[in-house]
């Protein structure tokens, strides 16, 4: 085993379930086309709600992703999404098709909120029926680590297994900490990312009453509009995004298809406010600085930033300031920023897992996905946000930002291999 700094980490598989499609390919095609996945909500009665829109996953069947389809009934919807995306990433990588040591393969499948649907249903049963009507599976179904654990059981993966919970930074932290463990020599490969399914009465009411969500109910597809003067809050989304990352020699020895190299990971705290970002973007900038330092890159060497870009009035301005703080003149003179949340809505703990897909595919295809609905750009958001139409650009290095309630910041940097 070489020194820690010699252990390079590459991405060899991707999987996704999103409002744009139930696999990575259709999700990416939707992004390139500038298609919105936001609709009027179908899976809950919104009669009494001020928010009636969201990025729901449609037409999804979890059963094919379980060796025993009955097991799907003992899982929350977030776990369905997570296990499906993890399985697709694993299949894409071909990791288990060769002779690998499964005790050196880890799983890091996190969720910002976890099994809210199970909690809602069983709390209702408790209050309206009796304690005896609460399912004995309630606790294992609702806890945020269970999808990660179940996936390891499905495939006999005995490596490190964790579930990070850092709100909207969850998936990026999961991938980044898996990267760190591979670098440190504690594993050869990881399936890592995040999953979320919180478009539920409690989730919608909670975020809505915070005044965090868009109420553009009459124009769902135009509701998520990062960096636009008409933005009025984020749009809730659901789904999952997972990647397979592995040590370079491990990947080469089995003839893996290498999508990109994961070279940088930054993390920081705003240490500022429960839900608001630091007004000058200091913590977010420090996070991006760390990712660049780990990668050994200068700011000028990054062509694309997939922004956190949630479509909130304050958040988009703060992130713009953070990007300018880190990238200096290059932020305006040669770098493109976009927010794919304009199309998917905000997948909360799964967001970074779907957005790293956009960075990987931008490198592979030479296409930067757009920020749709950017019709009247906020003068305080003064970067090139790839408005409305995808752009063909050679991308050698791309950075993905995820920032969560509690001031949690996480950035990932991927480069062409």
User: In the beta sheet, which residues pair with residue 110?
Assistant: 194
Q: What are the two backbone dihedrals, phi and then psi, of residue 226, each rounded to the nearest 5 degrees?
A: -55, 140
Residue 173 near residue 267, CB atoms below 8 Å: yes
Catalytic residue list contains 80: no
Residue 169 near residue 270, CB atoms below 8 Å: no
Q: Closest Cα partner for 227 from 357, 356, 384, 335?
A: 384
Question: Is beta strand 161-162 parallel, antiparallel or unpaired with respect to 105-110?
Answer: parallel
Catalytic choice (168, 318, 359, 386): 168
**Assigned token pair, 405:** 């309630």
Residue 163 near residue 111, CB atoms below 8 Å: yes
Catalytic choice (278, 346, 381, 408): 346
**Assigned token pair, 311:** 């479509």
Give counts: helices (H), strands (E), the chain.
13, 14
> Which 8-state DSSP code applies to residue 300?
G
Q: Closest Cα partner for 346 from 42, 112, 178, 174?
A: 112
3-state class of 208 per DSSP? helix
Residue 138, CA distances (Å) to 80, 116, 141, 154 in order? 15, 11, 5, 20
Catalytic choice (278, 294, 308, 408): 308
Burial (CB count <10 Å: 0-12, 13-18, 19+), residue 270 = buried
3-state class of 225 per DSSP? coil
> Which 8-state DSSP code applies to residue 369?
P
In order, the DSSP letters of 50-97 are S--EEB---S---GGGSSSGGGGGGS-HHHHHHHHHHHHHHHHHTGGG
Place of tokens 């504690």: 186
3-state class of 353 per DSSP? helix
Residue 291 near residue 411, CB atoms below 8 Å: yes
Q: How far apart are CA 128 and CA 49, in angstroms?
A: 22
Residues with a catalytic annotation lie at 168, 308, 346
């Amino acid at each position: 085993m070489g020194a820690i700094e010699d252990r390079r980490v590459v991405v060899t598989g991707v999987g996704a379930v999103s409002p744009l499609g139930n696999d990575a390919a259709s999700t990416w095609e939707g992004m390139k086309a500038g298609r919105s996945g936001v609709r009027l909500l179908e899976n809950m009665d919104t009669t009494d709600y001020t928010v009636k829109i969201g990025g729901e996953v449609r037409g999804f069947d979890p059963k094919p992703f379980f060796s025993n389809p009955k097991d799907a009934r003992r899982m929350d919807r977030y776990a369905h999404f997570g296990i499906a995306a993890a399985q697709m990433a694993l299949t894409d990588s071909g990791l288990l098709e060769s002779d690998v040591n499964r005790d050196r393969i880890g799983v890091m499948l996190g969720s910002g909120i976890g099994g809210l649907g199970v909690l809602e249903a069983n709390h209702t049963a408790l209050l309206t029926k009796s304690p005896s009507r609460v399912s004995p599976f309630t606790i294992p179904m609702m806890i945020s680590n269970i999808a990660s654990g179940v996936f390891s059981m499905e495939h006999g993966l005995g490596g490190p297994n964790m579930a990070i919970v850092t709100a909207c930074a969850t998936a990026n932290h999961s991938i980044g900490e898996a990267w760190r463990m591979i670098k440190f020599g504690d594993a050869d490969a990881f399936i890592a990312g995040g999953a979320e399914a919180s478009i539920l009465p409690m989730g919608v009411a909670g975020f809505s009453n915070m005044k965090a969500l868009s109420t553009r109910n009459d124009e769902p597809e135009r509701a998520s509009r990062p960096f636009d003067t008409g933005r009025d809050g984020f749009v809730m989304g659901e789904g999952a995004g997972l990647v397979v990352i592995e040590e370079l020699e491990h990947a080469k020895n089995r003839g893996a298809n290498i999508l990109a190299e994961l070279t940088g990971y930054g993390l920081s705290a705003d240490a500022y406010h429960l839900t608001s970002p630091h007004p000058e973007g200091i913590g977010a900038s420090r996070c991006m600085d760390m990712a660049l330092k780990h990668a050994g890159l200068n700011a000028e060497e990054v062509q694309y930033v997939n922004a956190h870009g949630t479509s909130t009035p304050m958040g988009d301005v703060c992130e713009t300031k953070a990007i300018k703080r880190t990238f200096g003149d290059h932020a305006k003179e040669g770098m493109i920023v976009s927010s794919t949340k304009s199309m998917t809505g905000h997948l909360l703990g799964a967001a970074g897992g779907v957005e790293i897909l956009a960075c990987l595919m931008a490198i592979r295809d030479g296409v930067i996905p757009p920020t749709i609905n950017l019709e009247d750009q906020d003068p305080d958001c003064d970067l090139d946000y790839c408005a409305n139409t995808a752009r063909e650009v050679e991308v050698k290095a791309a950075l993905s930002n995820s920032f969560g309630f509690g001031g949690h910041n996480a950035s990932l940097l991927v480069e062409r291999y």
